[in-house]
Structure 1
């Protein structure tokens, strides 16, 4: 049974592996614990049988706006509702801190997941590639 935890414990190696698989890049050695402790409002872990199977980061502006980043589910566990449950837990966690808005950017192929599956309302947005 998958357990979802707001600000749950995780290892950098586990999130690095999820990130590399989810975004299709080489395995990096990012210090996720230090990053989220310093910069994030919170995060949600999804753990099953002691293994991290999902993760989402909730960044914020220090005020009332929170932002979903890096929604990740292990490849062999996708399409089980884990991603939706991660987002639901992130919504509850952000709401519990007093945030009034939760934003998310996503690629077009994820529109159904975020809008239909998770209840986000479409809005206009802009983007500038910096690299």
Structure 2
């Protein structure tokens, strides 16, 4: 079965809370994801689905004029190292760029530096912070 990526999908708070807890290895606690993702600061969010199952997620939130932060890049541990995280980040980058923002920032744990700096193309700001400069879409002629 093929992974399908959906932007701004109908959020199931329980499924996303479960995925987030599994991906970041903590006890599952309910969270009102739909409410948070519906806020104006949300630039985009993307889900990776295997059939009806949510197996990956990422979001970007506006942090300052012209910039957004990449947050919650989460892939189910049983599905990691298959390119899902990279595909999620690429979808977020595309959406942030389409929104007219010029940069995307990310903060992460040190073991993920190769993923963000090497695979996703973020430039190093320090050991656990990166920036991805985006080209602004040109206005129609």
CA RMSD of the aligned region, Å?
1.7
Deviation at 1:5, TM superposition (A): 1.9
| TM-score, L = length of structure 1 | 0.90
Tell me which of the two structures has the higher relative contact order, counting C-alpha pairs closer than 8 angstroms and 6 or more residues apart.
1
Number of equivalenced pairs? 127
Q: Which residue of 1 aligns with 2:113?
A: 111
Q: Which residue of 2 aligns with 1:33?
A: 34
Q: Which has the higher strand share?
A: 2
Unaligned ranges ≥5, structure 1: none
Q: Which has the higher helix share?
A: 1
For 1:90 and 1:126, locate their aligned partners in 2 and report how far apart those are by CA, in whole Å: 19
Deviation at 1:57, TM superposition (A): 1.5
| TM-score, L = length of structure 2 | 0.84
Unaligned ranges ≥5, structure 2: 130-141
**1:25-83, Cα deviation, whole Å (9 max, x unpaired):** 21111000100111411111111111111000111126210111110001110011000
For 2:88 and 2:128, locate their aligned partners in 1 and report how far apart those are by CA, in whole Å: 26
CA contact (8 A) 1:54 1:86 kept: yes
